[in-house]
Amino acid sequence: MFRSLNEIEQTVRKAARGRGLPWGIADEAGKAVRCLHQMELGGIGQLIRMLDQSDAGGVSLRLVHGGGTWTPKSGKLDPLLAGPSLCDFMDARVSSRVEMEQVACPLLLAGFLVNAVSGRRDAMRLSWSGVSLEISSGQIGIHGSDQELETGLGDHVVCERIAGLDGLPASARSGQVWVEDAAWARLEQYARRTYVEATEASRNAGAGAGLLDND
Amino acid sequence: MRLERMGAFHQTRLSFMRALLRFLKKGNWQFERTRWDIDLRGVGTAIYQASGPDRMYSLICFANDLPDEKRSDRVIAEEWDATFVLFDGVPAKEEVKRLKKNVPKQEAGHYAQTELVLSRANRSVRLFEHVVDSLSVGRQPDREKMEAVGYLMRTTAVYGNGKFGISDRERIAHRPEFTGPFRAELLSVWLIRAFTVDIAEHLATVRGGSRATRMDARIRRRLGVGNATGLGMAPFLVLHPALIHAWIQARETALARVRNIERSSSEIIRGFSLLLSRAMLGVESWGTADPRQHKRIGKLKQDLVQLAAYVKNPGLGMPYPWNSLVDWSVGNLSLEGQELAVTLVIEPHQDLVDDLAEGMSIDESRYFRINGAQAISDALGFIRETYPWALDIDFSDPASMARFWYVSEEKLEPRLGERFDEPGAEKEHPLAYARDIARLYKDLMAFQQDNPDGPVMAQFLLACPEHRHAVRRIQVVRRLPYAEIRDNLISQGMMPIDLLRCKLSFFGASKFDPKSDRWVRINMYQHAPFPDEFSQMAEDDWVYPPLIPNPG
């Protein structure tokens, strides 16, 4: 079914939170996946793959940073957790290069970085085995095969600042996006974890409105 | 910005309904009912078309014959008296057919990018039936009954911005007619108002045949569109700090410009007195069964008498008359009265303030990115300076933590729970910024102590990602001072309707009628011109009732 970009952003936000990520991270995850769809890089498929790995205990919700390299506390590194911090470090010129080990679905990192450089002259290169993405405002230059791009694991992922890419037109699209119903249903399963089950008491007291409207 | 004051706001010239109608008038927009295919039971399809210099929009209405027991005020209902969609352009027959299968299902339907706004409404049974009955026998409806309700139908939801797969706002936000906040939604509501009267007149004709009459135009103008607004609207204000800043800043700037006027002409002063009399009439017809609001309206009536006395003596002939009036109001009037005084002093100064209405949208993405280079010491200083009210709250006191905001599984409705009595607090939504910033402050202090070499925010958030939403908040508020609601939104005594009233006043709503501490009924577009008389009516002089008594 076709989905609006706002619908995707909001549902991803809830799904990320439903998987256990903090709200502030979930807010950015929604925007990152929306952005990947605008770039026609199919974010929801990658996201579900990552959430499923995470839900099975294969992805850590904490990361460890020592000696300039980010590693997962156990299992794989969560790109939804690493992505926002990556933007903080690269954007703030706190660092011009960050290295990460064992990143699950590393393509998801690109969504965060595109938003970070949006409207700026900054540019970044994100690379892992066989893949290099050159990211500037509204634009991603891709080098690598689809298979390598959509890998479920980037053993060693590097993000570094590169010279600004002037003159590239923004390629972000707006409009509806086709999402397979099964994928959407899976996303909603995660989102549903943020909802509280309704009881008769909450129905009456929680929202406060009368049930009938006949006056 | 304190909650109590936000809960006393009234509409102003900058409110979105008024700005929209001014825009349509300036652009010489034309309106036409292009289809009326409604049967004898009141079931069928109607289309209202709005044509501007560059584009056309169509409100497609699907009228239903709903049994009384299915009529619910709540967003969680599944059937309505009428459902609506604002369509981008003029729909072909096939498109109307497609929409007829989907729009009556609302959330459960499938939509395309051509659909901009989705909405539904129920009749006010007591007034709708009276109006149909009166018109069917050639009589105009009873004035008192009209005043008591003020609308024939109430919308129970108005959805825009990509909800349920309809068009994202960013696809239309650059169009001049939709640059202001919520304009597509409010265009829909204004056209829905025309439909509510047309369907009543249609049913009156069905019932009375040749005896039936149409509603007098002046009586008709007393009807707005009702709306029941619950907690669904409350999180919006908290979660869109940049936008709220833009709204409040526009209002504060308008007030500052007016307060800065050194002398006003006698024409403006006469106009203000006239306006005050009309506002008094408006307040006279503001009814509510809510004891708290009833008392507030009673005090407001006294405030307006006092204000009228002030306008005579000392009067407005002194230097900086509006500044003096506002200063005087703070010491002498209730909050409702002070805020109505703000609305009224802004009102006669259209040349000075109307431009501000065009600047009430903001690109929120510009304020979303976190500045990772911010020094922790700088963040701590800012919190101490800006959030002393939050740092002073004792969050170990259960009363300070009594509530939690959540979304119910049933129809995804935002609700407010009792933290210590109800399950679900672990699924709390991030609206408790007072508590979260107090926690952030504590952890930033500890982080600074552990890292004496001048750490920055990027390092803190890498270690403590759970504070990310609160860090974003303080960084937004640093750039946009009106972005914060300076109150504890999870305390025991918090009044959620204060949030609703603030937002609805910016929409341009009136006749706030609280039904509990967490939902409110309102009236939209009461006294406004209808589309079929729009071109002949004066620009933006509709919000207060006219002084000459209407017939009926």
Of B238, B231, B157, the residue nearest B518 (C-alpha): B231
Smallest CA–CA separation between A208 and chain B, in Å? 6
Smallest CA–CA separation between A209 and chain B, in Å? 6
A177 has a chain B CB within 8 A of its CB: no
Between CA B325 and CA B311 the distance in angstroms is 8
Q: For residue A204, is it within any domain?
A: no
A1 has a chain B CB within 8 A of its CB: yes
Between CA A47 and CA A57 the distance in angstroms is 15
Chain A positions in Cβ-Cβ contact with residue B161 (cut-off 8 Å): 6
Q: Give the count of Cβ contacts less than 8 A between chain A and B.
A: 195
Between CA A208 and CA B500 the distance in angstroms is 13
Q: What is the pLDDT of residues B216-254, one digit of tens each?
A: 999 999 999 999 888 888 899 999 999 999 999 999 999
Find the CB nearest A209 among B73, B369, B416: B73
Between CA B386 and CA B373 the distance in angstroms is 20
Q: For residue A213, is it within any domain?
A: no
**Residues A199, A204, A209, A211: is their CA dihedral positive or negative?**
positive
Contact check, Cβ <8 Å, B468/A119: no
A4 has a chain B CB within 8 A of its CB: yes
Chain A positions in Cβ-Cβ contact with residue B469 (cut-off 8 Å): 22-24, 27
Between CA B255 and CA B58 the distance in angstroms is 37
Q: For residue A207, is it within any domain?
A: no
State yes or no: pLDDT of A172 exceeds 90: no
Between CA B439 and CA B456 the distance in angstroms is 18
Do residues B101 and B128 touch, judged by C-beta distance below 8 A? Answer: no
CA B461 to chain CA centroid, Å, is: 36
Residue-by-residue DSSP string for A146-212:
HHHHT-SEEEEEEEEEE---TTPPP----S-EE--HHHHHHHHHHHHTTEEPP-HHIIIIIS---S-
Contact check, Cβ <8 Å, B427/A89: no
A211 has a chain B CB within 8 A of its CB: yes
Of B210, B61, B221, B73, the residue nearest B141 (C-alpha): B221
ipTM above 0.90, yes or no: yes
Chain A positions in Cβ-Cβ contact with residue B124 (cut-off 8 Å): 215
Contact check, Cβ <8 Å, B165/A88: no
Chain A positions in Cβ-Cβ contact with residue B73 (cut-off 8 Å): 209-213
At B112, the amino acid letter reads A
Specify which residues A161 forms β-bridges with.
A124
Contact check, Cβ <8 Å, A194/B519: no
Smallest CA–CA separation between A24 and chain B, in Å? 4
Chain A positions in Cβ-Cβ contact with residue B74 (cut-off 8 Å): 207, 209-211, 213
Contact check, Cβ <8 Å, B74/A197: no
Between CA B251 and CA B15 the distance in angstroms is 9
Q: B108 CB contacts (<8 Å, ≥6 apart)?
A: none
Q: What is the pLDDT of residues A29-72, one digit of tens each?
A: 999 999 999 988 889 999 999 999 999 999 988 888 876 799 99
Please report which confidence band the pLDDT of residue A214 belongs to, taking 50, 70 and 90 as the band edges: low
Contact check, Cβ <8 Å, B69/A212: yes
Q: For residue A89, is it within any domain?
A: yes
Contact check, Cβ <8 Å, A202/B122: no
Specify which residues B403 forms β-bridges with.
B418
Of residues B518 and A199, more confidence is placed in: B518
Chain B positions in Cβ-Cβ contact with residue A202 (cut-off 8 Å): 408, 415, 417, 422
A208 has a chain B CB within 8 A of its CB: yes
Q: B378 CB contacts (<8 Å, ≥6 apart)?
A: none
State yes or no: pLDDT of A170 exceeds 60: no
B69, B405, B408, B521: which to substitute to probe chain A, counting the most A Cβ within 10 Å? B408
Q: Which residue in B has a C-alpha nearest to residue A193's C-alpha?
A: B427
B433: left (phi over 0), alpha (psi -120 to 50) or beta: alpha
pTM for the model stands at 0.94
pLDDT at A211: 45
State yes or no: pLDDT of A103 exceeds 90: yes
A68 has a chain B CB within 8 A of its CB: no
H runs (alpha helix) in B233-348: 234-239, 241-259, 266-284, 291-312, 321-332, 335-346
Contact check, Cβ <8 Å, A209/B515: yes
User: Cα–Cα distances in Å, from B434 out to B236, B380, B431, B469?
Assistant: 17, 15, 9, 12
Pairing of strands A195-196, B403-408: parallel
Q: What is the pLDDT of residues B278-295, one digit of tens each?
A: 999 999 999 999 999 999
Tell me the pLDDT of chain B averaged across its residues: 94
Tell me the pLDDT of chain A averaged across its residues: 88
Do residues B412 and B427 touch, judged by C-beta distance below 8 A? Answer: no
Of A86, A94, A176, the residue nearest A133 (C-alpha): A86
Domains contained in chain A, number: 1
Smallest CA–CA separation between B461 and chain A, in Å? 7
Q: Taking residues B38-48, what's their average pLDDT?
A: 97
Q: Taking residues B53-60, what's their average pLDDT?
A: 98
A74 has a chain B CB within 8 A of its CB: no
Do residues A161 and A124 touch, judged by C-beta distance below 8 A? Answer: yes
Q: What is the pLDDT of residues B379-420, one digit of tens each?
A: 999 999 999 999 999 999 999 999 999 999 877 888 999 999
Contact check, Cβ <8 Å, B168/A175: yes
B369, B437, B474, B513: which to substitute to probe chain A, counting the most A Cβ within 10 Å? B369
Do residues A87 and A98 touch, judged by C-beta distance below 8 A? Answer: no
Smallest CA–CA separation between B393 and chain A, in Å? 23
Quote the crossing angle between the two packed helices B291-312 and B321-332, to the nearest 10°.
140
DSSP element (H, E) containing B511: strand B510-514
Q: What is the pLDDT of residues B125-146, one digit of tens each?
A: 889 999 999 999 999 999 889 9
Pairing of strands B151-159, A131-136: unpaired
pLDDT at B147: 84
Find the CB nearest B372 among A70, A92, A196: A92
Please report which confidence band the pLDDT of residue B49 belongs to, taking 50, 70 and 90 as the band edges: very high
Do residues B21 and B538 touch, judged by C-beta distance below 8 A? Answer: no
Of B320, B282, B325, B315, the residue nearest B301 (C-alpha): B282
Percent of chain B with pLDDT over 70: 98
Please report which confidence band the pLDDT of residue A166 belongs to, taking 50, 70 and 90 as the band edges: low
Find the CB nearest B372 among A89, A193, A212: A89
Find the CB nearest A215 among B113, B125, B407: B125
Contact check, Cβ <8 Å, B461/A31: no
Between CA B243 and CA B274 the distance in angstroms is 34
pLDDT at A210: 47
State yes or no: pLDDT of B78 exceeds 60: yes
What is the domain range of residue A92?
Answer: 2-194
Of B227, B85, B260, B86, the residue nearest B152 (C-alpha): B227
Q: For residue A208, is it within any domain?
A: no
Give the tokens for residue B369: 């990115």
Cis preceding linkage at B314, omega within 30: yes
Q: B151 CB contacts (<8 Å, ≥6 apart)?
A: B124, B127, B196, B223, B224, B225, B226, B523, B526
Q: Taking residues B426-455, what's their average pLDDT?
A: 96
DSSP element (H, E) containing B320: none
Contact check, Cβ <8 Å, A215/B124: yes
Q: What is the pLDDT of residues B152-181, one digit of tens each?
A: 999 988 999 999 999 999 899 999 999 999
DSSP class of residue B357 equals G
Burial of B359 (0-12, 13-18, 19+ CB in 10 A): middle
Q: For residue A179, is it within any domain?
A: yes
pLDDT at A207: 54
Contact check, Cβ <8 Å, B113/A22: no
A66 has a chain B CB within 8 A of its CB: no
Chain A positions in Cβ-Cβ contact with residue B459 (cut-off 8 Å): 94
Do residues B192 and B121 touch, judged by C-beta distance below 8 A? Answer: yes
pLDDT at A138: 74
A89 has a chain B CB within 8 A of its CB: yes
Q: For residue A33, is it within any domain?
A: yes
Find the CB nearest B168 among A4, A201, A207: A4
pLDDT at A206: 55
Chain A, 180 to 199: residues with Cβ < 8 Å from chain B are: 192-199
Greatest alpha-carbon span in chain B: 88
